[in-house]
Amino acid sequence: MTNSQEHISHTKLIWKVFIILSIITAVEVFLGIDKPDFLYLTSFIGTNLLNIIFIVLTLVKAYYITWFFMHMADEKKNLRRAVVWTAVFLIAYLATLLLIEGGYIYDVLGPLTKWNY
Amino acid sequence: MEVTTATDTNHSTWDGGENKPLGASYGKMMMWFFILSDALTFSGFLGAYGLTRFKFIESWPIADEVFTHVPFLHGVSAPMYYVAFMTFILIFSSVTMVLAVDAGHQMKQKKVTTYMFLTIIGGLIFLSSQAWEWKTFIKGEYGALQLNDGKIIQFVDKTGHQIALEDFAVRSHKERIQHTKSNGLWFVSESKLPPFSVNEVINGFKSNPDITIRTEQLNLETKQKIIIPREKAMGFLNNAKAVVKGANLKVNEYGKTAFADFFFFITGFHGFHVFSGVLINIIIFFNVIIGTYQRRGHYEMVEKVGLYWHFVDLVWVFVFTFFYLI
């Protein structure tokens, strides 16, 4: 219990992380409303540049939440890897397969959809 | 004869020894592994959403046209603002949660109580916002026609902006009376009638030369829905089957029904997580007040429920991106 007495407060760090998360969200909302053409009307690895920016910003937010709010930074390396590597690998794997499959279904069924009446 | 007893049995050997590879208590470790498996569940849902969206990439509803409402601002088109507010609320309640954990480390019971309380309030605001969001989505805004093959036809004015059915549909005098239990068969119920009949909408279309229709199909260059010239519109309208207002699990005025299905399922599943998070937070909150953790000497329970709460926030960050932004 002596440990808890010595425990230093992380309040400053918490507010810093909060400000970072708020700024990222504000940027996302601004881009989502404005949708600048030079990002939105592009084609880049199966989607457009704007969406890539959104995904990257989301991953940055996820990093800050996991590392500083969930205190992953203070956990032992083994626990961190057991959780993070598993999730990252399985989710990336699943998402890749499902999106490739979705694109394939569109290639096959899209031309058969009737749009003229 | 003496019995040999292993008096120096090292209990900790049976418990796994002093070697603690993960360096976390059992409860905290299991919370992490629960979160891991829950994350995989959510990614399964969002992955399925992605698959369906790629499958209908040329006709998926545009989220900016669906979620444009803010409470108390009727008729103002404000895409994203309200959901941005919800995101902010959830992030802020995460901050108060982590402040509660931090105060717990320093054994400050009063502070933990305050921060836990604020977290619960944040969760409740989020939940009620989500209920409002659902209500608006279910009620719908413009109304549309559904064709025999299930496609949705929306009406636009000459500037290309969507217009509501009541702006042009002509009410005929033939009243179709809603079947209720009191005026019909008591054991049969009928779902709510749409505000107009198909014929009333088509007659209204014919008498307004300025309006035309658009299909769900997107122009993949401009990412806008393709507007059908008025001359060709009747070909579509002759195939109309039903008037649609709002969205539910069977039909959706904004376009693909699958969009509504995924919206209800994913935000509903997330909302259920928030709901149970609030309940658990309340239990922990009362335990903090009566001093359970103060007597126990540590606030690890607050830390564990905090992990869950942050996870709920984490999931919302992804739902926000994939449902509203992309």
ipTM score of complex: 0.91
B95 to A18: CB separation less than 8 angstroms, yes or no = yes
Name the residue type at position B168.
Answer: F
Place of tokens 């608006």: B136
Among A81, A16, A13, smallest CA distance to B101 is for A13
Burial B301-323 (b: 16+ CB within 10 A, else e): bbbbbbbbbbbbbbbbbbbbbbb
pTM of the model: 0.89
* Amino acid in the structure at residue B250: K
* B129/B280 Cα distance (integer angstroms): 20
- Under 8 Å between Cβ of B95 and B88: no
What is the C-alpha separation between B27 and A78, in angstroms, rounded? 16
CA B194 from centroid of its chain's CA atoms: 25
Q: Taking chain A (117 residues) in consecutive chunks of 10 residues, what is each chunk's mean pLDDT? A: 56 94 94 88 84 95 95 91 95 96 94 88
Report phi then psi at B92, rounded to 5. -65, -40
Locus of tokens 């579509």: B236
Query: How does pLDDT run along chain B (326 residues), one tens digit per residue?
Result: 555 555 555 555 566 666 777 888 888 999 999 999 999 999 999 999 999 999 999 999 998 888 888 888 776 778 888 999 999 999 999 999 999 999 999 999 999 999 999 999 999 999 999 999 999 999 998 999 999 999 999 999 988 889 998 888 887 766 667 777 887 788 887 777 777 888 889 999 999 999 999 999 998 888 889 999 999 999 999 999 999 999 999 999 999 999 999 999 999 999 999 999 999 999 999 999 999 999 999 999 999 999 999 999 999 999 999 999 98
- Select from B311, B325, B324 the least CA-distant residue to B42: B311
CA distance B296 to B25: 15
Closest listed residue to residue B45, CA positions, set B310, B274, B269: B269
- H helices of chain B, in order, are 11-14, 26-55, 63-66, 81-105, 109-139, 198-207, 230-237, 257-289, 292-296, 300-319
Determine the 3-state secondary structure of B212 from DSSP: strand
* Residue B118 CB-half CA count within 13 A: 18
CA A97 from centre of chain: 18
Q: Are A54 and B98 a contacting pair at CB < 8 A?
A: no
Q: Report the run of H or E that residue B228 belongs to, with start and end.
A: strand B224-228
Pick the residue from chain B with its C-alpha nearest to A52: B326
Chain B residues closer than 8 Å to A25 by CB = 84, 87-88, 91
- Whether B318 sits inside 8 A of A87 (CB atoms) is no
Chain A partners within 8 Å of B64 (Cβ): 32-33, 35
Domain ranges of chain B: 26-140+259-325, 144-245
Superfamily of domain B26-140+259-325: Cytochrome c oxidase, subunit III, four-helix bundle (1.20.120.80)
Distance from CA of B58 to the nearest CA of A (A): 8
Give B216→chain A minimum CA distance, Å.
9
Domain ranges of chain A: 1-74, 75-117
